[in-house]
Every structure is written in C-alpha cells, then in structure tokens.
C-alpha cells in the first residue's frame, strides 16, 4: 500500500515540476480566487529570495547573524524564515553544518533525524506554522514541495528540501533534491505504527522490501546480482535489576515521625544499602540501566539468505559497541516533595537557623506560652518513641573511639564543625533526620541531649564518641570543644574518685591530675621502686623521659649516696645521672600538673586581657606563669635541697652552659659526677631575670597539693551551664556548620573508584562550604538575610555534588570490573552535567537528556554482556520475541538498518562488475529502516536520471 502511494506521489511531483507552472496555478484556482496566481508566484519568489540570501551568506555569515545551534556535540545549525501564502504561514528552515568533513558519518549519534533518514547533510525544511496542529495532506505537501523545488532550481541550489506530511507523530516526509542538471533525488519517509507485517519484522523481508524499490524497473535482473550495502545498529536495554523490583515505597516515610518507618525500610534491600548515606536515607538509583548499541558496519549482501543469517548473528560479531547509561529522570524536581537527601535536610536546617533568632532559649520553642508565632506552635515534634531511639543511638555505650576519623579530604578541616562521628556531629546528623528538622524538633532533641550529657557528668560516665586524652582542637566548633573539655574533666573526675577510694587515709590525698594516682605514694618515698615502665607512661616533658634511661643497677646504688635532709615529695623518679649542684644528691623530676587545656572562648578571654595591656613592654600571660611556678614548686618539693640553677638544668637545659674541657678534677663517686660543672646562660643570669624572681616566690609543694591549674569540677559545671543556656542561634549556627561538614564527610566516604573529577568536586565543595560557613559563629554576624540566602545557595551546590556523587557510586558498582569504562562514562556525564551545576536546582525542566555513548573496548565486552543475564522463565514468558539478533536471550529494543545501492551512471544504467572506471559511482537507492516489531519507519531516497 505504501509503495503504491509512493509511486503515485512521484508521478504527481513530476507533473508539478517547474515547467508545469501554469498547470499548478490552474489547479490552485480551484480553491482560491483569481488573485492567487500572482500570490503563488510571489510565494515562490519569496522562497527564492530567502534562499538566495542564505546561499549568498554561506554558513559562516549565517552563524554570525545568529543561527541557532542544535545542541553542542553536533555542529548542526539552523536559520529560519517565515513566509506567507494565502491564509497560511509557513516556516522555512535551513539546516547546515559548520565544520563537517563533508561526509556523513555512519551512525553518528547526533545526526538530525532527516540527515539519518535520507543520508543528506544540509537541507531545507518547510512546514506550515500552526498552533492548532494544522497538517498537510499529501497533495498539499506535494504542492508546497514543488514550490520550494522551483525556487531552489531558480537560484541554482542543490539543497535537498523536505516537507512533512500528515500529523507529526507519523514522521512522514517527502522531499526532493536537484543534483545538478542530470539527476534528481527524491525522498519519502513513512511509518507503520502498528501491526507490522511479519515479513517486515525480519531482516530478510526488509531486504526484499528494499530490492523491490528498484527491481521492478529493471526487469531483466534477478535480485541475486545486486550488491546491496547493508549496515545495522541494534540497541539493547539491560533488563531491570532484580533488587529494584519493589519500588521504594518507604522513602517518603523516612522523615515521617512514626517510629517503625525505619523497620519497613530495612526489610528490603536497596541498591545503596552499603553506601555511607544509607544510614540516613535511601537514594533512588540514578542509573536505571544501560543501553548497549551494537553496530555492524557496512557490508555487502547479495541475497536474502545472507540476510536471514545475519539475523542470527551474535552481538559479539558487531564491530562496535557503545554503552549509554539510562538515567532516572528528575521528574519531581520542581514539585514540593523534592528528593530526600542531605541537601534537602540541610535546607530545612537553614530554615531552622533563620527562625532561631526569634527566641532567647531553646526551651522557648517548645513551651506553649512562649512560642512566638502560631504556626510555630503547630509544627510537629516527633513522638517520644522516636526521641528515645535517637538518644539511645547517640548515647549507647559500646564502641570507644581511639581517634576521630579523619576525612581523606584535606579541606574538611577548614570547616568549623565537630569532627566526623564525634558526639556533636552525630547529634547534628540525627537532627537533620529528626522529624522534619524544624526548630521545635531540634529544640526537643537538644534539650534531651543536654540532659543526657548532664547525666554523664553527674554520674561520671564517659561521654560517648569523645576522646578523653585529646587536646582541644580549636578549629572545631565551640560546642565540640566544650564537650571535649567535659570529656576530659569527667575523666579527671573519675581519676580523682578512684584515687580517693584507693589511698583513703594516705597523706598524699588531694587533687592529683597525673594519670597514675596509685603510684604517688611510692614515688613520694625515696625512689628505689621507680620502675621504668612507669617512667615511660608518664607523658610529661622530655625531662621525665630521659629519666627512664636509668638502669636498675644504678638504682640500687643510689640509695647509698642519698641522705635527704628534708622529706622528698612528689617525685616522678630520678633524672638520668644528674646530681644537684649544692648537695650530694640525685636530681628528681617532679610530678607535674598537666598544662591546662582551654576552649576557644577561654583563649579569647585571655587574648582580650592581653590586648588590654596594649603595647606593654613585657607582658607574660598569667596562666603560663602559673604553670612555670607550679613546675618550680613541684621541683622544689621533689628536690628539697635544689637551687635555681638545678631547676634550670632540668627545665631549660639550653640555659645551662657547660665547659667541655673541665673533665679532670671531677669528684667521681661510683659513677656520678659531682659537683656538676657549668653556669647559667647569660640571659638566665641577668639581674632582673623573671625566672629567678618566680623561683624565689614559689613555695615547695608537690603537684598533688597545689591548687589545680584546671579544676575539673568547676570547669565541667561551667560547660554544662554553657550548654544549658546556649542561645538558639548560636546552637543553630554551630549545627549548620557541623551538619554541612558531617554530611559531606559522610558522603565523601562513598567508594566511587578512581574518579579525579569527583574527588576535585568534593574538595571544592568543602572549600565553598568553608568560605560561606565562616560567616557563622563569627563575633558579629553579617546581614542575616544575606547569610540565609547564601546558605540556601550552598544547599543547592551541595545538592548538585550529592547527586553527582550518588551517580558516581552507582556507576562504579555497576561497572566494577570495567573501571576504564565507568571512568569514561562518568567523565562524559561530568562534562554534560557541569555547566548545569552552577545554575539552578537539580533537574531543571528544559534539560537536555544525557546521550553520550561511550565506546566499549573488546576487553570490556564481557563485563557488559554480563549485564544481560539470560531472562528468567518468567520474563521470557511475558514477551513474544520476533526480531532476531537476540543478545543473551534479549531482543533489541530498537533496530536501525541502512540499505544502499550504488551504480555507475556514466556507463549506463547498470554498471559492469569489471574494474572500477573513472566514472562517478552514485548511490541510486538508499533506505533507512528503524523501529521494532510493532513500529516501523522507513525512509527511501532514489536518485534518477531525468
């Protein structure tokens, strides 16, 4: 039926060629009045004028004049012009390439549909403009085409021109191309949208269809003698992943406040179960599957049998494989229920920050009387069961951490937040997912959190997920520093309690801050029992460490030479073989107090005090003086007969200068040199030396009896006071910083293989976060509105990186054994996605789809083939296979083939099979066929000698 229609049309077109102008006009008179004659002519000359202009301009100038580019990978551009004929408007478009090599690349993915269908490069397309979907029927289309053909031939152009016929979904076209004086090429495309005849489902039948296009005109030839060029492209789609069968119904419920949503959620396995974020949420797999495109490059087929064989050919025989990931469309990007992700929750947290300025205390957000606005009162708080679960998770005993886990990303530290997986960081992550992360939910959680912390403090229970030996890292947020300090205070408190318990009644009772209370009484005796392991463990200064060099042999001897005049107290052991200057005794290192630790606000206070001194000539901070004085007192107690010089020899050996040549007249007593030789350095011996002054006023007191440099009871209580009275916005500022950091730290643990771009992107994200978040927790906030806007933009940036990362993870796990391929596909996607990242929300509506196909190397084919497991009995039952070229039992979802026939026109109709002469070989027939077994499109181009 279609063939018949084609023949008819061709005849029609002949009739209406330029020489038959008058006839055409007459025909047209039928449905318009007599003025039409001139309007038809005007229409043609209008087309002609436009074409002449375009021809004269040439592609380069047209580009300058602002031709539209049709997507970036292809260099196809178009210009258009609107024309009027009678009541109808037409749009004429000229499509052209800029830097094309002149050859149409076979199966190039970015060909325009018409280029692919008809094997043309540049072309004209003319169609009626209609808002109401007015379409041309066959005669109208022919008339229109003939008008264009006349115009084109008038200006000597050889552009092919096309006109759509019927409604657009049918993709039917007719076209014509004037190829110089001798030849004309005619085009025709149509579609069978349903009930494709069985014959046309198979390659053999399609081949015969093609043959039939010319065989009737060359009766004396049998089909077997034709050398038909054939090329084929098959597209396969991976079957759906098994674990995807149930679509995540639980997702929207995660944030819901009912306690069992988590249970539902975990009952089925998700693709991202072992990804770091799955602890908090389940992401939809961004990669639904893959398309495999297998290409059989051009070969010559001589009969139908060969075609039938080709239909059995394995995919592995195809010359070229390309792989394209099928991405989950971000369809719900604009709707209110955006995808749940860290970014979405951070956005909510930023909203909470915005509200936090409204109240003085966190309690105010919960108490009914004080809630400032009505809509605040109505914001939901998760039920107690959920609260309990979160608290249990935060404060559960068990894993004691030995170190805060460090991010492999250097810039993570640039954000002033709590370290990853520390108590406050965990609190912040929980807050993100606690209810809808509104201020009331946060307030509820915080108040209970602080209550738990107080309980730990009162009961001297170690804080979970906190180090006790650590110093305070000032690059973290203040709440973390405070919790860190509290953890240390609790630790010290426990020590003191133990100590009191153990040595009750002993004279060494009191505050003791070294970690070794049980040994204090021993060391207060003369030091025989001093064992080296104890020395090792002592983490004081290096002075103490050098004492461990002592051999046990010399220890025994030491008793003989010691005769302390006063009671020695608070010794941590002797210092090497050092002797005191003025008394024939060994020098003892004292137990010392730990240098006090300070949180940033304490430093701040000190600095302010210091700066108040202004340009004072010699300022020394009181605290350090206290430490030095404490050391002096302890040294005096441990060495009752010591002088200032002895202290310097121990504490600042650099300031004790020895003469090397005075070795001879030393009194040697059983291996000990006495008296020690040397003198104080000049700076130590100056008159107004502040060290000596301090020495003179420091009483002899062992560390255990000194006023503590850090009072754990007092400091701990102060910290709880801080936590209990923290201003909401101060809490929220720190939470925002920590939540951003912890979310990024969580995500960045994802394994995505060796993707440099991803790594760089994450590192950049940290930097961006740091530069915006630094305006929080500052002494004076910058404009609040501006800050909130910045933070919201930061959420978008975060969202982009998060989505990209999830894609990288998905890609990585799917192509685990083909790392090169997954890297290449990611790079393609990255380049595609990058320009979109800066602009707007993820998944914009007018986004072009990602369609870069990555060539598969032969070594990677097996990995790709494994993604097509043979269908289960159940699956194959569902589908009727009808196309052939099965790949592991899967039918292609799309088949495209091109037949073409060449002829040597110069030597008459049918060329010889002899050696090639210098005559031009012309593609006389070309047919492009695409589709499936129930949707077939065909496009035919025929070149003929007129």
Partner 1 sequence: MDNRPEFDYLFKLLLIGDSGVGKSSLLLRFTSDTFEELSPTIGVDFKVKMVTIGGKKLKLAIWDTAGQERFRTLTSSYYRGAQGVIMVYDVTRRETFTNLKDIWAKEVDLYSTNQDCIKMLVGNKVDKESERVVTKKEGIDFARESGCLFLECSAKTRVNVEQCFEELVLKILDTPSLLAEGSSSVKKNIFKQKPPQNDAATSGCC
Ligand X SMILES: Nc1nc2c(ncn2[C@@H]2O[C@H](COP(=O)(O)OP(=O)(O)OP(=O)(O)O)[C@@H](O)[C@H]2O)c(=O)[nH]1
Kindly list the residues in this chain that would bind ligand X in the complex (CB under 6 A).
682-683
Task: Choose which of 79, 598, 922, 938 interacts with partner 1 (CB under 8 A).
Answer: 598
Site membership for partner 1, residue 414 (CB under 8 A):
yes
Report in angstroms how near the CB of residue 468 gets to ligand X at its nearest.
Answer: 31
When the beta carbons of 414 and 720 are compared against partner 1, the nearer one is 414
Residue 657 CB, shortest distance to ligand X, in Å, is 10
Residue number, 160 or 708, with CB nearest to partner 1: 708
Query: In the set 284, 655, 896, 903, which binds partner 1 (CB under 8 A)?
Result: 655
Q: Shortest CA distance to 933 belongs to which of 254, 135, 261, 206?
A: 206
Cα angle 816, 822, 823 (rounded to 5 degrees) comes to: 125
Q: Which is nearer to partner 1, 203 or 701 (CB)?
A: 701
8 A C-beta contact, residue 445 and residue 390: yes
Closest residue to ligand X in the complex (CB): 683
Q: Which of 296, 641, 255 is nearest to 434 (CA)?
A: 255
Bridge partners of residue 936, in order along the sequence? 192, 931
Quick one: what does residue 790 bind among partner 1, ligand X, none, with the CB cut-off 5 to 8 Å set by partner type? partner 1
Phi, psi of 539, rounded to the nearest 5 degrees: -100, 45
User: Nearer Cβ to ligand X, position 655 or 705?
Assistant: 655
Residue 541 is a binding residue for partner 1 (CB under 8 A): yes
Residue 272 site contact among partner 1, ligand X, none (CB < 5 to 8 Å, cut-off depends on kind)? none
Cis omega (within 30 of 0) for bond into 738: no
Tell me how far the alpha carbon of residue 227 is from its chain's centroid.
53
- Integer CA distances (angstroms), 105 to 210, 298, 376, 639, 794, in order: 22, 12, 63, 93, 43
Q: How far is the CB of 683 from ligand X (least distance, A)?
A: 4
787-806 binders of partner 1 (CB under 8 A): 790, 793
Chain length of the chain: 946
Q: Helix, strand or coil for residue 128?
A: strand
Rounded least distance, CB 684 to ligand X, Å: 9
CB 623 within 8 Å of CB 578: no
Q: What's 679-723 look like in SS3?
A: EECHHHHCCCCHHHHHHHHCCCCCHHHCCCCCCHHHHHHHHHHHH
159 versus 647: smaller Cβ distance to ligand X: 647
Is residue 760 involved in binding partner 1 (CB under 8 A)? no
Burial label for 918, CB within 10 Å (0-12, 13-18, 19+), is: exposed
Task: Identify which of residues 300 and 778 has a Cβ nearer to partner 1 in the complex.
Answer: 778
CB of 518 to partner 1, least distance (A): 25
The contact mask relative to partner 1 for 416-455 (x = CB under 8 A, - = no) is: ----------------------------------------
Candidates 332, 367, 475, 563; binder of partner 1 (CB under 8 A) is 475
Based on the shown chain and the rule CB under 8 A, indicate whether residue 357 belongs to the binding site for partner 1: no
Q: Six-digit token pair at 214?
A: 């010319």
Q: Which is nearer to partner 1, 264 or 624 (CB)?
A: 624
Q: Compute the least distance from the CB of residue 590 to ligand X, in Å.
A: 21
CA pair distance 867, 338, nearest whole angstrom: 31
What is the secondary structure of 167-236 as a DSSP string?
Answer: -GGG-EEEEEEEETTTEEEEEEEEEE-S---GGGGSHHHHHHHHHHHHHTT-TT--GGG--EEEEEEEEE
Please tell me whether residue 581 binds partner 1 under the rule CB under 8 A: no
Provide the minimum distance between the beta carbon of 655 and ligand X in the complex, in angstroms, as a whole number. Answer: 8
Q: With CB cut-offs between 5 and 8 Å by kind, which of ligand X, partner 1, none does residue 560 bind?
A: none
Closest CB to partner 1 among residues 179, 627: 627
619 binds partner 1 (CB under 8 A): yes
- The SS3 of residue 4 is helix
Beta bridge partner(s), residue 184: 178, 944
| In the complex, least distance from residue 593 CB atom to partner 1, rounded to whole angstroms | 11
- Asked if 786 is part of the footprint of partner 1 (rule: CB under 8 A), the reply reads yes
Sequence-separated (6 or more) residues with CB below 8 Å from residue 326: 237, 287, 288, 289, 290, 291
CA gap 481, 473 in Å, rounded: 7
The nearer residue to partner 1, 347 or 925, going by C-beta atoms, is: 347
701 and 381 in contact (C-beta within 8 Å)? no
615 binds partner 1 (CB under 8 A): yes
C-alpha separations of 538 from 469, 650, 692 in Å: 13, 16, 27
> Would you count residue 257 as binding partner 1 (CB under 8 A)?
no
CB of 479 to partner 1, least distance (A): 17
> Least separation, in Å, of the C-beta of 624 and ligand X?
11
Q: What are phi and psi of 690, to 5 degrees?
A: -70, -25
Indicate the DSSP class of residue 890: B
User: If binding is defined by CB under 8 A, does position 98 make contact with partner 1?
Assistant: no
Residue 595 interacting partner from partner 1, ligand X, none (CB closer than 5 to 8 Å by kind): partner 1
- Residue from 683, 846, 913, 915 touching partner 1 (CB under 8 A): that is 683
Q: Least distance (Å) from partner 1 to the CB of residue 681?
A: 7
Looking only at the bridges linking them, the beta strands covering 76-85 and 88-97 are: antiparallel
Of the candidates 116, 176, 174, the one whose C-alpha atom is nearest the C-alpha of residue 149 is 176
Among 651, 812, 813, 926, the residue binding partner 1 under the rule CB under 8 A is: 651
Residue selected from 218, 225, 474, 845 as contacting partner 1 according to rule CB under 8 A: 474
Tokens of residue 359, six digits: 């109240």
Q: Cα–Cα distance between 654 and 680 in angstroms, integer?
A: 9
For 711-756, give the secondary structure using H, E and C: CHHHHHHHHHHHHHHCCHHHHHHHHHHHHHHHHHHHHCCCCCCCCH
775 binds, among partner 1, ligand X, none (CB under 5 to 8 A by kind): partner 1
DSSP string computed for 498-536: HHHHHTTT-TT-S---SS-GGGHHHHHS-GGG--HHHHH
Q: Say whether residue 696 binds partner 1 (CB under 8 A).
A: no
Q: Does 686 bind partner 1 (CB under 8 A)?
A: yes
Question: Residue 233 or residue 636: which is nearer to partner 1 going by CB?
Answer: 636
Question: 492 or 812, CB closer to partner 1?
Answer: 492
User: Do 94 and 80 contact (CB within 8 A), yes or no?
Assistant: yes
CA 853 to chain centre: 21
The answer to whether residues 389 and 473 touch, using CB atoms and an 8 Å cutoff, is no
The residue (of 683 and 916) whose beta carbon lies closer to ligand X is 683
From the list 594, 849, 542, the residue with the least C-alpha distance to 711 is: 594
Binds 799: which of ligand X, partner 1, none (CB < 5-8 Å by kind): none
Six-digit token string for 51:
């074409």
Smallest separation, CB 541 to partner 1 (Å): 5
- CB under 5 to 8 A by kind: which of partner 1, ligand X, none does 691 bind? partner 1
Instruction: Decide: is 610 part of the binding site for partner 1 (CB under 8 A).
Output: yes
Q: Is residue 946 near partner 1 by the rule CB under 8 A? A: no
Q: In this structure, are residues 611 and 666 in contact, taking their beta carbons and an 8 Å threshold?
A: no
Q: To the nearest whole angstrom, how small is the minimum distance from the Cβ of residue 793 to ligand X?
A: 47
From candidates 691, 695, 740, 928, binder to partner 1 by CB under 8 A = 691
Number of residues lying near partner 1 (CB under 8 A):
49
CB of 689 to ligand X, least distance (A): 11
Residue 398 or 687 with smaller CB distance to ligand X: 687
Residue 775 is a binding residue for partner 1 (CB under 8 A): yes
744 binds partner 1 (CB under 8 A): no
Q: Which residues bind partner 1 (CB under 8 A)?
A: 414, 471, 474-475, 541-542, 595-598, 600, 603, 610-611, 613-615, 618-621, 623-625, 627-628, 631, 651-652, 654-655, 681-684, 686, 688-691, 694, 771-772, 775, 778, 782, 786, 790, 793
């Amino acid at each position: 039926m279609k063939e018949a229609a084609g023949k008819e049309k061709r005849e029609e077109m002949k009739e209406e060629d330029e020489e038959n102008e008058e006839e055409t006009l007459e025909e047209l008179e039928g449905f318009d009045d007599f003025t039409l004659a001139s309007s038809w002519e005007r229409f043609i000359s209008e087309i002609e004028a436009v074409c002449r202009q375009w021809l004269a301009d040439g592609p380069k100038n047209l580009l300058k004049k602002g031709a539209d580019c049709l997507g970036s990978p292809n260099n196809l551009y178009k210009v258009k012009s609107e024309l009027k004929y009678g009541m109808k408007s037409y749009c004429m478009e000229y499509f052209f390439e800029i830097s094309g090599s002149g050859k149409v690349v076979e199966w190039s993915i970015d060909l325009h549909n018409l280029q692919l269908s008809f094997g043309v490069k540049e072309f004209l397309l003319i169609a009626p403009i209609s808002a109401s979907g007015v379409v041309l029927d066959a005669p109208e289309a022919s008339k229109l085409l003939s008008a264009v053909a006349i115009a084109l031939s008038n200006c000597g152009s050889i552009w092919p021109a096309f006109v759509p016929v019927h409604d657009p979904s049918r993709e039917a076209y007719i076209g014509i191309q004037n190829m110089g004086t001798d030849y004309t090429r005619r085009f025709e495309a149509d579609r069978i949208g349903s009930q494709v005849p069985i014959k046309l489902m198979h390659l053999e039948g399609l081949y015969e269809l093609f043959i039939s296009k010319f065989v009737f005109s060359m009766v004396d030839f049998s089909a077997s003698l034709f050398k038909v060029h054939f090329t084929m492209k098959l597209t396969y789609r991976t079957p759906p992943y098994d674990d995807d069968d149930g679509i995540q119904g639980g997702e929207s419920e995660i944030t819901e406040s009912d306690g069992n949503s988590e249970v539902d959620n975990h009952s089925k396995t998700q693709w991202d179960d072992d990804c770091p974020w799955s602890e908090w949420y389940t992401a939809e797999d961004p990669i639904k599957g893959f398309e495999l495109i297998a290409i059989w490059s051009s070969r010559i087929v001589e009969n139908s049998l060969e075609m039938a064989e080709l239909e059995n050919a394995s995919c592995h025989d195809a010359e070229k494989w390309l792989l394209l990931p099928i991405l989950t469309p971000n369809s719900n990007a604009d709707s209110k229920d955006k995808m749940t992700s860290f970014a979405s929750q951070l956005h909510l947290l930023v909203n909470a920050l915005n509200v936090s300025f409204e109240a003085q205390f966190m309690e105010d957000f919960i108490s009914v009387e004080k809630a400032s606005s009505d809509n605040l009162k109505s914001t939901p708080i998760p039920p107690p069961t959920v609260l309990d679960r979160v608290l249990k998770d935060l404060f559960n005993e068990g894993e004691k951490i030995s170190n805060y886990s460090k991010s492999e990303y250097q810039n993570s530290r640039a954000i002033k937040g709590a370290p990853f997986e520390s108590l406050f960081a965990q609190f912040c992550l929980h807050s993100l997912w606690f209810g809808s992360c509104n201020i009331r939910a946060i307030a509820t959680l915080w108040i209970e959190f602080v209550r738990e912390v107080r309980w730990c403090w009162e009961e001297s229970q170690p804080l979970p997920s906190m180090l006790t030996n650590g110093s305070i890292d000032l690059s973290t947020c203040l709440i973390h520093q405070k919790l860190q300090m509290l953890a240390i205070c609790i630790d010290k408190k426990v020590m003191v309690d133990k100590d009191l318990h153990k040595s009750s009644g002993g004279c060494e009772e009191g505050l003791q801050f070294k970690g070794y209370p049980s040994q204090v009484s021993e060391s207060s005796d003369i030091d025989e029992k001093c064992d080296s392991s104890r020395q090792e463990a002592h983490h004081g200064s290096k002075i103490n460490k050098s004492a461990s060099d002592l051999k046990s042999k010399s220890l025994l001897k030491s008793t003989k030479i010691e005769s302390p005049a006063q009671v020695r107290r608070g010794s941590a052991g002797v210092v090497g073989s050092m002797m005191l200057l003025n008394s024939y005794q060994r020098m003892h290192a004292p137990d010392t107090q730990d240098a006090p630790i300070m949180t940033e606000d304490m430093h701040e206070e000190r600095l302010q005090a210091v700066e108040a001194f202004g340009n004072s000539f010699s300022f020394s901070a009181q605290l350090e003086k206290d430490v030095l004085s404490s050391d002096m007192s302890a040294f005096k107690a441990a060495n009752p007969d010591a002088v200032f010089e002895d202290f310097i020899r121990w504490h600042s050996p650099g300031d004790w200068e020895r003469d090397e040549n005075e070795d001879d007249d030393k009194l040697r007593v059983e291996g000990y040199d006495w008296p020690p030789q040397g003198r104080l350095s000049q700076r130590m011996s100056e008159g107004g030396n502040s060290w000596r002054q301090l020495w003179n006023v420091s009483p002899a007191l062992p560390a255990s009896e000194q006023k503590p440099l850090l009072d754990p009871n007092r400091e701990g209580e102060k910290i709880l006071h801080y936590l209990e009275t923290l201003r909401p916005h101060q809490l929220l500022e720190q939470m925002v910083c920590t939540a951003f950091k912890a979310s990024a730290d969580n995500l960045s643990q994802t394994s995505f293989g060796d993707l440099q771009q991803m790594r760089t992107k994450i590192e950049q994200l940290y930097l961006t976060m740091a530069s915006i978040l630094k305006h929080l927790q500052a002494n004076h906030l910058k404009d609040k509105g501006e800050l909130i806007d910045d933070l919201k933009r930061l959420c978008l940036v975060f969202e982009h990186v998060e989505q990209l990362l999830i894609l990288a993870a998905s890609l990585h796990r799917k192509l685990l054994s083909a790392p090169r391929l997954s890297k290449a596909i990611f790079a393609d996607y990255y380049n595609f996605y990058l320009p979109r990242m800066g602009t707007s929300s993820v998944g914009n509506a007018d986004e072009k789809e990602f369609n870069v196909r990555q060539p598969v190397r032969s070594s990677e084919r097996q990995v790709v083939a494994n993604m097509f497991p043979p269908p289960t009995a159940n699956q194959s039952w569902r589908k009727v296979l009808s196309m052939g070229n099965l790949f592991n039992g899967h039918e292609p979802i799309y088949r495209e083939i091109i037949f073409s026939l060449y002829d040597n026109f110069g030597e008459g109709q049918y060329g010889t099979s002899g050696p090639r002469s210098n005559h031009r070989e012309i593609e006389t027939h070309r047919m492009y066929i695409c589709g499936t077994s129930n949707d077939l499109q065909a496009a035919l181009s025929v070149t003929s000698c007129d």
